[in-house]
Structure 1
Amino acid sequence: MTARPDSGGGPAPDPTAQVLVRAVVDAVEAVGGYAGGLYLRSGTQGLLRIAVIAGLPGRLFRPWWRLHVNRPYPAGEAYRSGQSVLLPDAETSMRRFPQLVAGLPFPFASLYEPVSAGPERLGVLFVLRDATPGVAISAHDREALRAIAERLAGELSALAGDGAPPVWEGDPVYAPSPPRDNDAREAVDRLTQAVLSLDRQGRIRYVSAPARELLGPDGEGLHGRLVWEALPWLGHPAYEDHFRAVFLAHAPVLFPARRGRLPSGEWLSIGLYPGRDGVTVTIASTDPPAYAPSSMVRPGAGLGSPADRASAMYRPVALAIALTEAVTARQVSAVVTEELLPAFGGRQLAIYLLNERHLYLAWETGFPQGFLDRFDGVALDVRLPGVETLTTGRPMFFESMQHLAAAYPGIPLDSHVGARAFLPLIASGRPVGSCILGFDSPRGFSPEERTVLTALAGLIAQALERAQRYDTEAALARGLQAALLPNRLPVFEDVVTVGRYLPGTVGMDVGGDWYDVIETGPGMLALVIGDVQGHGVAAAATMGQLRSAVRAFALSGNTPEQIVRGTNRLLIDLDPGQFASCCYVSLDRESGRACAVRAGHPQPLLRHPDGRTQVLDLPGGVVLGVDADAAYPVTELMLEPGAVLALYTDGLVEMPGTDIDDGVERLRASLAAAAPVPLTETADRLISEVGDSANRPDDTALLLAARIPDPP
C-alpha cells in the first residue's frame, strides 16, 4: 500500500484509501471529535506513519507524521500494548505523556485505539476532541471506537488477502471536510473587517470583500488554497504555534504579523476563531508592536507575546525530554533533527564533535551530498564559523548566506541562500563540538530565539557528552562480556554446535545471557544456556561466575540435576537477591540420548530429521538463586541423526506488545522452515529477525546442536 501526497483534492481514489478514510471519519463522528487520523505500519520495522488525517492541517503537524512504536507517545503505547489509551484532558496527558504535551501544549482530549487482526498489530486509530477535565471518557465512546477499529481490521485483512498489505509509505491522505453553510456571506461582506474562512485542513473556503480589498494582489485566487501557501507571510514558523493552538484547543488566538519585508512591510492584527467545521480568520491593519527590530527579515510575534513565551518554554522542554531517551551520539543527533529543526523551520543540520583539537562531522541532514566533507577533521586554528563558535563559546547568527560570505570571505557556500546559526556545544565548561542550523530562506533571529537556541545547544552538548561516556563504558562492558563467552565451541565429528549472541540496543548496559558447550567425558558433552537477571557489568560478572561454576561442576562428574542444584546454591551464596534462568542438557553423542534440566528457562525446541518441529515440554524448577532447597527434575530426550536442538534466551522470543508464546511459535516455525545444513545458516536465520531491529530491549543468546546423519 502506498500513499499519494496530498494535492488538495481529498483522499486518494484507491479502494484501500477509501476504507481508511471512511474509518477515520466514522470514528471522529462516533465520539464527537473534531479531528482524527490513522497510523499504520510502514515498511521500516517499528515505524508507524499517519495514513489519514481528518480535521487538521497536515502542514502544521508534519513532525508527528512518523512515529516509532517505542517512543513515549500514546499512539506508540496503544500499538505496543494492544490496549486503548484514553486522555480526557491536558492534566492526564501531561502526567502520562509529557513529551506529547511539551510538543503540543494545548488543552484537548484524545482517544487511541489499536487496530489488530488477531495477534497482529496493524496500526492505531485516534480521535481528538474538546477536553473534559475531571470527566472520564465514557464506556459508550470507548466501545464505539473499538467497534470501528475492529471493523477496519477486518476490512484491512480482507484487502491483504487480495494483495494489498496494510503497510503505509509516504505522506498521508486527507479526509474531506464537511460542507460549510455559506448563507451568511452577504452579511459578512457588509462588515468593514476583513474575514477569511478556513476548513479543518487550513484551506480557504471564503474571502470577504473587505479581505480582498485589504490584501490587494494577495487577495486574488485564494479560494481552495492552503492559507500558508496563499499568504506566505502567514507561513512563518513563528506563527505555527498560533494555528496549532486554534485547531487543537478551540480557543480564540490574537497576534500581530508582518506582511512583506522590512522596512516597508505592513503590520496586521490577526484573529483566529475556531469552530467545529473550521476557523474564521480576521485581518486588520494595526500599529507596529513595541518590539520590531530592524535586523529581522521575517520577525516572530514580538517580545512578550503568548506565542514567544510558549515557544521559549516548551521547545527546550520537548527537546530535553526527548534527549533523556537518547543513548548514543547518533540517537542524540536524530532527536535534534526530529525536535529542533521543525520547531524553528530549519531544513539543514550538522553536528561536529571535538576530538584531539579537531572537529569531525558526526551527523548531517539537508546539505548537498559531499558538501561538508571539506570541513571534516578541521583544526581549531582554522578561521571558520563552526570553529570560532566553539573556541569563543559564542553563538553566531547570519540572516543570509550573503551575510555569512561577507563575514568570512572565501568560505565555500552551498546552493542555499538562507540563514545560518552556528551554536557552540559546551557541557559543564568543556567543549564538545558545534552545531549548524540551516534555513531555506533569509530570516532574522529575535532575542527570544537566540536565547532559546543557545540554551538548547547546552542541552545537546550535555546529551552528547553523556553519549560519549556511554560509548566508552559500553565498549568496556561489551568487551568484558565477550571475554566471558566462549571464543570458539569444541568441534566433534558426530555433533555440530553453533552459538550466537546479540547485545540489546535499548538502555546503556549489557546483559547477562550466556551459552557454553562442555566436553564432560568420552563421547559426552553438555549444552548450557542461561540468562542472569538485569543488565550491566554486575550482570555480566555474575554470568561469568555462573558459567565457570557450571563448567566446574560438569567436569567434576556430577549429574545434570546435581550441577543445577549446586549452581543454584552457589548463586544464593554469591549474591543474595540475584537470580538467573538456565537450561542444561547432557548429550551422549553416539546414541543421541540426552538428559535435560530446566530452571525457569524458556522451553527448548527440537527439529526432527523429517522437519517436524516441536516445543519440548520439560518440567522444570524455579529460577536459580531463589530457593536453596529447590528440586530440578530431569527429562530424558532422544536426538536422532539429523535432529537439531535449539536452546535460546527470552530476548529471541519476547518483543514489546506481543505475547511470548507468539514469539516461541514464530521461532518454531522459522526452525521448521530452515534447511537442516549448514547449521550456521540456520542460526543466522533464527537470530536475524531480532538482529535487524534497531530497538532490542534485551540481549539474546542462541545455541544449536545437530547430530550428523550417518553417511548413506
Structure 2
Amino acid sequence: MAGPASGPELLEHALAQAMRDTGAGVGAVYLLQPGERVLRLAVLSGVPGDIAAPWARVALGGATPVADALRERRLVWLGSQEELARRYPQLALVLPYPFTLAAAALTTDGREWGGLVLQWSGAHPPELRPQERAAIGDACHRLGRLLRAAADSGHPVVPDAEPRLVPPPGTGASESSGAPAAAEFAERLPGGCCALDMDGRLAFVTASAADLLGADVSDLLGALPWEVLPWLNNPVAQDRYRAAVFSRSPTSFTALRPPDSWLSFRLYPNASGISVRITPIPAARERDRTPSPHPAPPDLTGRAAALYHFMHLAATLAEAVGVQDVVDRVADQVPHGTGARALALMTAEEGRLRIIGHRGYTAELMSRFDGAPLTSDTPAVRCLTTGAPSFFGTFAELKRAYPPAVLQDGMAAWAFLPLLTSGRPVGSLVLAYDRPHPFTPEERSVLISLAGLIAQALDRARLYDAKHQLAHSLQAGLLPHALPSVARLDVAARYLPAGRGMGIGGDFYDLIRLDETTAAAAIGDVQGHNVQAAALMGQVRTAVHATAGSPPGEVLARTNRLLTDLDPGLFTSCLYAHLDLARHHACLATAGHPPPVLRHPDGHAEVLRLPPGLLLGIDPTATYRAREIALPPGAVLLLYTDGLVEVPGADLDEVTEALADRLARAGDLRAEALADTLVHDARECAHRSDDVALLLIQAR
C-alpha cells in the first residue's frame, strides 16, 4: 500500500485558498530543506514555469523578498515599481512591470519551513488591505501546519526537480456549451484572434489569425508562438508577453512578418491566460518604417533598448575594480540607455557633497557644486541625505519644489537618484535632459533600479580601493624604504604590483652595505599573492640580512633551513650576490630564481647561467653552489623576478635573452633611467598577472 502523500501536492489546496482569499493572481510556495541555505520553489500558480525558472532556487542570504521574509520573520510588502526598484534593484531590472507583491515566512513553533509569495496586478492599491494581511497570515498558518504534520509523520515535503504547476483558482478546464458560438464570433471579427494558456502555448487560433501569421492552424495549436514563428523570437515580443503575465494589464507590440508585413499585437491577460488581437498595419504606416533589409522591431528602440543597455552595464559593473573604474563605466554607458545629456556622480565626505565623476557637464560648473555642505537645501543634497529619489520633468517643477533654484546647467529636466546599499545612501546620481522629460512610473522604476546597481558597484569599489591601499602600505612596509649608498655603485630598484587583485605579493629585493668595499644584493619571490606570502617575504629578508656577508651558498642554505623549520607551506626563489668592489668581482648563488643578466663595459649583455639550486623551503639539507664573475667599472648587473619576463605561451629562455638584448641596446643611461626603461612595458600592461621586482647595480 502506498504511503501518505508527501510531495508538494499537499500544499496545492492551501495555496489556492490563499490566492482566493487575497485575490492574488500569482502564488508560490518556497521550501527550505534541512541543512541547506537555499529556498527551492515547490508549488507555482499563475505564471508559466519557464518565466519563474530564474527564481526556482533562492539563496537564503540573498537580497530577495522571500529570503528577507524568512530570514527576518516578517511580511515583506512591495506596493509599487519604485519600491521594488529601491529595495531590490536587480529584481526590478529583470521585471520592470507594474505589479505588487507580498512575501511571508512559513514557520511553526520557531521552526522555519519556507516562504509564501503572492502577487497582484499593478492596479492593486499601494497599501495591503487589512483583510488581505489577515488572509496571508491564515495561509501561512495553514501551510506551516501542513509542513509540520508531514515532517512529524516521517514524510517531509520535498520539492520536485521542477516546481509543481497548478492552475489558478476559478479557472476550470471544462468547456462552455457556448464555445462554438464564441469561436464563430471571433472568426467574424476583423483581423485575427488567438489565445495563450498559462504556459504561453496557443490554445485557440482563428483561421484569419493563422493567415496573418503565415502558418496553419494545426501547426500553431499547442505550440509556443516564438518557437513555431521564428520572426516572433525577439526581445520585444517576449518582453511584452512577460509584461502581460506579471502586470495582468493589456499591452501591445508590433512585429515584422517577413518579408514586409507589419503586424500589431494587442495582449489582454487574466488569470486563465492571454487573449491576443492581431491586426495588419496599413501600408501608409509601413512606408514610415525603416527600409532596412533586416529592420529591428520598432519597440526595441524604446524601453527594451534601455533595458539592454542597463543589463550590459550591470555585467560590466561586476568587473569594475575601483571607484574610478565604476565612474568611467557609468559615465560611458548610462547616457545611451537613458537619453540623458549629462550626469554627475556624488558622494558625501566629511559633511560635504563631493563630485567623483561627471559627463556632459563642464569642470567649471561641477566645481561650483563640489564641496557644498550637506546642510544646504538642494535636490542633490536632499537626495543624498534622505535616500529619496526626485524627478522634475521641467524647470518649473524644480522651481516649485525649490524656490531658490537657479538654472545653471542649461538643462530642462532632471532625475536625482540615491545610491542605496543596505538601506543607507552611499552617494547619488544626477541625470539631466536637454528637453522637458515626463518620467513615467515605469521609467522611474528602471532608473531607481539602475541607481541601486551602481550603488552596489560603488560600495564594492570603495572596499576594493581601501584593500588595495592596505596592500600597498603592507608591501611598502616590508620592502626597503631606500637603498643604502654604497661607494663605487649606482643602484636603482623598482616594484610593480600585479595589474589586478589586491596587489599583495611576495616579491622582494634588498641591498646590504657590509663595509667600505663590500656589499650584498638579494632578490626573491615567495609563492602566492596574499598576506601570508607577504609575511613570509619579510621573514626571508630578515634571514638573508642575518647571514649577509657569509659566502652566498651558505646564506641560502641557512635561509633554507629556517624556512623548512617554519614549514609555511609556500616555496621561495631567491638569488644572493656578494659584491667585492675592491677586487671588481661578484659571487652569486641561486635557489631556483630566474638567471641574472650582466652587461659588460663594452655594451654586450649575457644571461648568467648559475649552478642550479633547489627552491627554499623544500629540503632542509639542500646545498647551493656559487659562481664568480668579473664586475669591472661600467658593468651592469640586473636582478629581477619572473613577472618582468613571463609572457603567456612564450619560451622563457627566449624572453630572457630578449631582456638581455634590451639591456644591451638601452645605451649609457644612469641606473634610475635604465630601470624605468626596462620596466616600461610591464608598467603599461594593466592586466599583468604577476608582481615585478627589479634591482639594477652599476659598477663605477
TM-score normalised by length of structure 1: 0.55
C-alpha separation between the residues in 2 aligned to 1:446 and 1:410? 26
Which residue in 2 is equivalent to 1:584? 576
1:436 aligns with 2:430: yes
Which residue in 2 is equivalent to 1:636? 628
Counterpart mapping for 1:70-81 below 5 A: none
SS at match of 1:623: coil
Which residue in 2 is equivalent to 1:564? 556
1:681 aligns with 2:661: no
Which residue in 1 is equivalent to 2:316? 322
Alpha-carbon deviations, 1:97-147, whole Å to 9, x = none?
xxxxx99xxxxxxxxxxxxxxxxxxxxxxxxxxxxxxxxxxxxxxxxxxxx
C-alpha separation between the residues in 2 aligned to 1:398 and 1:662? 64
The structure 2 residue matched to 1:553, chosen from 537, 547, 550, is: 547
User: What letter is aligned with 1:517?
Assistant: L
SS at match of 1:611: coil
Which residue in 1 is equivalent to 2:449? 455
1:537 aligns with 2:521: no
User: What letter is aligned with 1:404?
Assistant: L
Counterpart contact for 1:419–1:443, Cα < 8 Å: yes
For the structure 1 residues 426 and 268, does the alpha-carbon distance in structure 2 shift closer, same or farther, using more than 3 Å as the test? closer
User: What letter is aligned with 2:345?
Assistant: I
SS at match of 2:502: coil
The structure 2 residue matched to 1:271, chosen from 209, 231, 255, is: 255
The structure 1 residue matched to 2:439, chosen from 422, 438, 445, is: 445
Counterpart mapping for 1:111-510 below 5 A: 270-273=254-257, 280=260, 282=262, 318-414=312-408, 416-510=410-504
Alpha-carbon offset, residue 660 of structure 1: 5.0
Which residue in 2 is equivalent to 1:617? 609
C-alpha separation between the residues in 2 aligned to 1:367 and 1:608? 57
Counterpart contact for 2:235–2:304, Cα < 8 Å: no
Alpha-carbon offset, residue 320 of structure 1: 4.0
Counterpart contact for 1:642–1:676, Cα < 8 Å: no
SS at match of 2:318: helix
C-alpha separation between the residues in 1 aligned to 2:231 and 2:544? 64
Alpha-carbon deviations, 1:172-227, whole Å to 9, x = none?
xxxxxxxxxxxxxxxxxxxx99xxxxxxxxxxxxxxxxxxxxxxxxxxxxxxxxxx
1:698 aligns with 2:686: no
Alpha-carbon offset, residue 531 of structure 1: 1.5
Which residue in 2 is equivalent to 1:593? 585
Alpha-carbon deviations, 1:581-635, whole Å to 9, x = none?
2111112112232222222222211111122122222242232223333343322
Alpha-carbon offset, residue 580 of structure 1: 1.9
For the structure 1 residues 573 and 431, does the alpha-carbon distance in structure 2 shift closer, same or farther, using more than 3 Å as the test? farther
Counterpart contact for 1:254–1:272, Cα < 8 Å: no
Alpha-carbon offset, residue 349 of structure 1: 2.6
SS at match of 1:379: coil
C-alpha separation between the residues in 2 aligned to 1:334 and 1:642? 47
Alpha-carbon offset, residue 567 of structure 1: 1.6
1:528 aligns with 2:522: yes
Counterpart contact for 2:525–2:572, Cα < 8 Å: yes
Alpha-carbon deviations, 1:412-468, whole Å to 9, x = none?
445554542211122223331111223444434343332233233233223322332
Question: Structure 1 regions of 5+ residues with no counterpart?
Answer: 1-101, 104-191, 194-241, 257-266, 291-304
C-alpha separation between the residues in 2 aligned to 1:608 and 1:318? 55
For the structure 1 residues 403 and 656, does the alpha-carbon distance in structure 2 shift closer, same or farther, using more than 3 Å as the test? farther
User: What letter is aligned with 1:633?
Assistant: R
C-alpha separation between the residues in 2 aligned to 1:535 and 1:544? 14
Counterpart contact for 1:584–1:598, Cα < 8 Å: yes
Which residue in 2 is equivalent to 1:159? none
Counterpart contact for 2:574–2:593, Cα < 8 Å: yes
C-alpha separation between the residues in 1 aligned to 2:318 and 2:380? 26
User: What letter is aligned with 1:282?
Assistant: W
Alpha-carbon offset, residue 280 of structure 1: 4.7
For the structure 1 residues 314 and 493, does the alpha-carbon distance in structure 2 shift closer, same or farther, using more than 3 Å as the test? same
Question: Structure 2 regions of 5+ residues with no counterpart?
Answer: 1-92, 95-189, 192-225, 241-250, 271-298
SS at match of 1:378: coil
Which residue in 2 is equivalent to 1:122? none
SS at match of 1:445: coil
For the structure 1 residues 492 and 604, does the alpha-carbon distance in structure 2 shift closer, same or farther, using more than 3 Å as the test? same
For the structure 1 residues 418 and 670, does the alpha-carbon distance in structure 2 shift closer, same or farther, using more than 3 Å as the test? farther
Which residue in 2 is equivalent to 1:20? none
Between stretches 340-349 and 698-707, larger displacement belongs to 340-349
For the structure 1 residues 248 and 460, does the alpha-carbon distance in structure 2 shift closer, same or farther, using more than 3 Å as the test? farther
C-alpha separation between the residues in 2 aligned to 1:451 and 1:268? 20
Counterpart contact for 1:252–1:273, Cα < 8 Å: no
Alpha-carbon deviations, 1:14-70, whole Å to 9, x = none?
xxxxxxxxxxxxxxxxxxxxxxxxxxxxxxxxxxxxxxxxxxxxxxxxxxxxxxxxx
SS at match of 1:614: strand
C-alpha separation between the residues in 1 aligned to 2:368 and 2:592? 57
Quick one: percent identity of the two aligned structures?
45
C-alpha separation between the residues in 1 aligned to 2:600 and 2:684? 28
User: What letter is aligned with 1:568?
Assistant: N
Counterpart contact for 1:572–1:578, Cα < 8 Å: no
SS at match of 2:667: coil
User: What letter is aligned with 2:256?
Assistant: L
Alpha-carbon deviations, 1:76-112, whole Å to 9, x = none?
xxxxxxxxxxxxxxxxxxxxxxxxxx99xxxxxxxxx
What is the number of residues matched between the two proteins? 440
For the structure 1 residues 459 and 651, does the alpha-carbon distance in structure 2 shift closer, same or farther, using more than 3 Å as the test? same
SS at match of 2:469: helix
What is the RMSD of the two structures over their aligned residues, measured on CA atoms?
3.9
Alpha-carbon offset, residue 252 of structure 1: 9.2
Looking at CA atoms only, which structure, 1 or 2, has the larger radius of gyration?
2
Alpha-carbon offset, residue 317 of structure 1: 5.3
C-alpha separation between the residues in 1 aligned to 2:678 and 2:359? 35
Alpha-carbon offset, residue 510 of structure 1: 2.1
Counterpart contact for 1:255–1:271, Cα < 8 Å: no
Alpha-carbon offset, residue 658 of structure 1: 5.9
C-alpha separation between the residues in 2 aligned to 1:395 and 1:547? 55
Alpha-carbon deviations, 1:448-494, whole Å to 9, x = none?
33223323323322332233233333323322321222222222332
Counterpart contact for 1:401–1:416, Cα < 8 Å: no
Counterpart contact for 2:236–2:253, Cα < 8 Å: no
C-alpha separation between the residues in 1 aligned to 2:236 and 2:311? 25
Counterpart contact for 2:479–2:508, Cα < 8 Å: yes
C-alpha separation between the residues in 2 aligned to 1:425 and 1:269? 33
For the structure 1 residues 288 and 398, does the alpha-carbon distance in structure 2 shift closer, same or farther, using more than 3 Å as the test? farther
Alpha-carbon offset, residue 496 of structure 1: 1.9
C-alpha separation between the residues in 2 aligned to 1:683 and 1:529? 15
C-alpha separation between the residues in 1 aligned to 2:639 and 2:645? 12
